[in-house]
Amino acid sequence: MNYEVIDSHCHLDFPKFNKDRPETIERARKSGVIEMINSGIDYKTNSNSLELAKKYEFMHATLGLSPQMVPDADDAKIKQILSQIERNIDKAIGVGEAGLDFYYCTSDAGRKRQEDVFRQVIEIADRYNKTLIIHGRDGEDLALEMTKDLDRVIFHCYGGSLETMKNIVDAGHYISVPTLVCFSEHHKSIAKNLPLDNMLIETDSPYLSPRKGRNEPAFVLDSVPVIAHLKEMEEAEIAMATMQNTRRAFEL
């Protein structure tokens, strides 16, 4: 196994990596992960992502505002994060993760607030012509509808229906397959049916590990043979295509 890949979405700044962050990054690089995209979700993690991108030339930052924090955050906090994103937009390769999480948020008021905030994030991505990374759990259809005027959109860690997936692909957007594909039947059917031209791969580490315990960027390679098998293609072909797609999606 000697091909190169990009982990298109990880959270290396999270506390789970505090004990061995440099070693984790080194492991990923040694195993063939040539670039990593670290995704911010709030003020602190956006700052951390920028720091990582400054420290490592192969690391890129995206600046986000997770829908999971929106229902509990007051307007001042939301405004603070939005202006942080805008202030640092030239240091980021994308805006996100941001979007809708109707899995955790079931109240109408909370969902409405997520929508309002997401609309403001979309405006920033649009204004500065940046790739938007969507967290759309149980809100994929609405997220797609809301972003129909954007050129470059990635549905990160996609777990929605095959029907919505087809609509996302028809809109010319990208879908990121997480390491969940190693053990989730639903994600296997997504990977099997997703055109290779629209596919990125990610770990979302420290979450969704294909092995026991914490996920890390090196494990993104675990998903390559699985996807290759599902699509009846060569592993190197999957690696090469997803790497090129990631570069295209983020204009790297």
The residue to which tokens 């202030």 are assigned: 87
Distance CA 84, CA 91 (A): 11
Ranges of beta strands (E only) in the chain are: 5-10, 33-39, 59-65, 94-99, 131-135, 153-155, 174-178, 199-202
pLDDT tens by residue, 141-174: 999 999 999 999 999 999 999 999 999 999 999 9
Q: For the segment 110-152, what is each residue's pLDDT rounded down to a tens digit?
A: 999 999 999 999 999 999 999 999 999 999 999 999 999 999 9
- Please tell me the predicted confidence (pLDDT) of residue 183: 97
- Residue matched to tokens 């829908």: 67
Which residues are bridge partners to 133 per DSSP?
Answer: 154
Domains of the chain, earliest start first? 32-156 (3.20.20.140), 174-229+241-252 (no CATH)
Compute the mean pLDDT over every residue in the chain, rounded to the nearest whole number.
Answer: 97
Mean pLDDT along residues 192-206: 98
The predicted-structure confidence for 61-101, as pLDDT tens digits, reads as follows: 999 999 999 998 999 999 999 999 999 999 999 999 999 99
Q: What integer is the mean pLDDT of 44-53?
A: 98
Read off the pLDDT of each residue in 3-7 and give the average, rounded to a whole number.
97
pTM: 0.97
Residue 206: cis peptide before it, omega within 30 degrees of 0: yes
Statement: residue 7 has pLDDT above 80: yes
Query: Residue 108, Cα to own-chain centre: how many angstroms?
Result: 26
Cα→Cα distances 19→92, 131, 206, 209, Å = 26, 32, 13, 18
Number of CB atoms found within 10 A of residue 63's CB: 34
pLDDT for 2 equals: 82
Q: Which amino acid is at 98?
A: A
For residue 1, name the pLDDT band (cuts at 50, 70, 90): low
Q: What whole-number distance in Å separates Cα of residue 134 and Cα of residue 88?
A: 19
First to last CA, the chain: 25
Q: Return the axis-axis angle of helices 75-87 and 43-55, rounded to nearest 10°.
A: 20
